[in-house]
C-alpha cells in the first residue's frame, strides 16, 4: 500500500529573510531560506509514493556535461529564446536546449512553452540571480542507462529541466539553483507515449536531485506536473508474464501389470 504524502510549502517573513517549510504528514520538516514574501501554496499533484533511489554519480556527471554543452549554444545569446545545443558524439541521441531569462521577468510572465514544459508565473529561485538559464534535456534511448528504475518500464523518455546561474555563459560545472513554482505547477506534456501494458496504470515519475523518486498521477492526457526541477517521465509497473506449467504426463502403467 502506497503511503500518501501531502506537501505544503509555507513561506514566513523573518526580518529580511524568509523561511521555507516543507512538511509532510509524517512530521518530517525541511527548511530553506529565501528572500520572498509570505506565501502558502498546495501543489496540484499529490505524491502517491516515494522511493529512495540514490542517483548514481554518472547521472549527476551527465548533468554537468550537458550544462557545459548547453551553454556552448549561446553564441549570440538573446533573452527568452531557446538555443539548441549539440552533445558530443558519445552521447548521440540526447537532445539539449537552453534559455536565458531575467529572473524578474520569469517570475512575472512565466514561459508559455519551452519544449514539453509550460512554466507558470511565480517561479522562484534560491539564491537569487539577476539572470538564470533553464537547461532542457531529452535523454531519449539513454533514459534507462542513467535512470534505472527496477520494477518499472518507461513509456516516455526522461526529460530534464534544471536551472543555473546565467551571469557567465562560459562557466562550466555549475551547481543547480534551487527553484520552485510558488503559485501554479509546472506542467510537462509528453505527447504520444508507448502503449500502457494491460493490467497496469501509467504514472508520472519525478527524479529529484537528492536521490528521491516520486510517483504521481497523470493529469489529463499524457501530462505530468511538478513544483520543482529534476528529471521526469511516464512509467508503468513491469508485468511479469505468468510461468506456464506443463501438464503432468498421464500415469504410466507397466506392461503385464493388472489392475
The per-residue pLDDT for 239 is 76
Q: What is the pLDDT along the chain (259 residues), one digit of tens a residue?
A: 443 333 333 333 333 333 333 333 333 333 333 334 333 343 444 566 666 555 567 999 999 999 999 999 999 889 999 999 999 999 999 999 999 999 999 999 999 999 999 999 999 999 999 999 999 999 999 999 999 999 999 999 999 999 999 999 999 999 999 999 999 999 999 999 999 999 999 999 999 998 789 999 999 889 999 999 999 999 999 876 655 666 666 665 666 655 5
Class of domain 51-237 as given by CATH:
mainly beta
Residue range(s) occupied by CATH 2.60.220.50 in the chain: 51-237
The per-residue pLDDT for 211 is 75
CB-based contacts of 96: which residues, under 8 Å, 6+ apart? 66, 69, 70, 73, 84, 85, 86, 87, 135, 136, 137, 138
pTM of the full predicted structure?
0.75
pLDDT digits over 53-93, tens only? 555 679 999 999 999 999 999 998 899 999 999 999 999 99
The enclosing H or E element of 144 equals helix 143-146
Amino acid at each position: 500500500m502506497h503511503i500518501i504524502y501531502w506537501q505544503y510549502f509555507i513561506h514566513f517573513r523573518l526580518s529580511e529573510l524568509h523561511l521555507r517549510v516543507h512538511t509532510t504528514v509524517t512530521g518530517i520538516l525541511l527548511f530553506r531560506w529565501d528572500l520572498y514574501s509570505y506565501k502558502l501554496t498546495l501543489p496540484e499533484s499529490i505524491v502517491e509514493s516515494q522511493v529512495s533511489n540514490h542517483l548514481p554519480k554518472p547521472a549527476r556527471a551527465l548533468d554537468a556535461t550537458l550544462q557545459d554543452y548547453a551553454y556552448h549554444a549561446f553564441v549570440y545569446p538573446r533573452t527568452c529564446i531557446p538555443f539548441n545545443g549539440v552533445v558530443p558524439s558519445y552521447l548521440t541521441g540526447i537532445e539539449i536546449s537552453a534559455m536565458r531569462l531575467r529572473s524578474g521577468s520569469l517570475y512575472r510572465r512565466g514561459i508559455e512553452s519551452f519544449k514539453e514544459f509550460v512554466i507558470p508565473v511565480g517561479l522562484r529561485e534560491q539564491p537569487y540571480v539577476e539572470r538564470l538559464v533553464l537547461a532542457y534535456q531529452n535523454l531519449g534511448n539513454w533514459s534507462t542507462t542513467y535512470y534505472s528504475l527496477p520494477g518499472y518500464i518507461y513509456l516516455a523518455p526522461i526529460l530534464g529541466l534544471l536551472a543555473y546561474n546565467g551571469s557567465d555563459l562560459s562557466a562550466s560545472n555549475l551547481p543547480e539553483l534551487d527553484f520552485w513554482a510558488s503559485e501554479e505547477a509546472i506542467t510537462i506534456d509528453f505527447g504520444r507515449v508507448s502503449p500502457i501494458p494491460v493490467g497496469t496504470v501509467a504514472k508520472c515519475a519525478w527524479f529529484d536531485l537528492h536521490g528521491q523518486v516520486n510517483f504521481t498521477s497523470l493529469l489529463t492526457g499524457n501530462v505530468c506536473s511538478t513544483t520543482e526541477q529534476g528529471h521526469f517521465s511516464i512509467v508503468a509497473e513491469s508485468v511479469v508474464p505468468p510461468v506456464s506449467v506443463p501438464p503432468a504426463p498421464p500415469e504410466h502403467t507397466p506392461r503385464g501389470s493388472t489392475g
